[in-house]
Amino acid sequence: MIKISDIVRIGPVIPVLAFDSVDEGEAVCRALYEGGVKVLEITLRTEAGLGVIERASKIADDIVVGVGTITKPEQAAASRRAGAQFGVSPGLTRALHEAAVDAGLPLLPGCMTPTDLVHAIALGYETVKFFPAQQAGGVPMLNAFHGPFPTLRFCPTGGISPETAPNFLALPNVVCVGGSWMTPKAAVAAKDWAEITRLARAASQLGHHAAKAA
């Protein structure tokens, strides 16, 4: 079972994805993989989520498909059965944590406040999602967290763009970022998979900080 600490170091950006249909999702995931993006977060914000996870996980041996927006304990087992290799949640409860452990689904839990971080550390987490990153204080907030939480590593997600991503990636406690800019609605609607591959390739070259605090 691959660990979250390894998953977040595979590439600098994890795309956050939601799809209207399974076929659309598979096509977009293939386009992203073609551009060098090997870690995907496919959210359960639409009914197509589990079906896309099942298809995307079979695209290649080295693709790592995760499930996003886990808010209910029962979603962990269902996602694992569909082929998800990790989970991402917008927040963290003991019930979500225990469900993920029981399902064998490594979890990247969402945290926003110091209390959230203390709770995550108490449950054994070393890597968390800072969400919603831009709205919750962005780079200055993550800088402030580094002092009291020197060993914690973050994947900031929410409101991040290709222009601001390098500012986050330059921080010593950030290992990758999450973003949705690689799949603009117009490109998906037009089935412009080449554009998505282009954006994925550019995101993959933002600079990977795998060596940080390793």
Map out the domains of the chain as residue ranges. Answer: 4-202
Of the residues 26, 38, 41, 54, only one is catalytic, namely 41
User: Given this model, what pLDDT does residue 212 score?
Assistant: 41
> Is 41 tagged catalytic?
yes
Confidence (pLDDT) at 1? 83
Q: Where are the beta strands (DSSP E) in 60-139?
A: 64-68, 86-89, 107-111, 127-130
* Ranges of the chain whose pLDDT falls below 70: 208-214
Q: What Rg do the C-alpha atoms of the chain give, in angstroms?
A: 16
pTM for the structure as a whole: 0.95
Catalytic residue list contains 129 = yes
What was the pLDDT predicted at 156? Answer: 98
Fold of 4-202: TIM Barrel (3.20.20)
Contacts of 147 (CB under 8 A, 6+ apart): none
Q: Looking at 26, 38, 54, 129, which residue is catalytic? A: 129
Label residue 127 exposed, middle or buried (CB < 10 Å: 0-12, 13-18, 19+).
Answer: buried
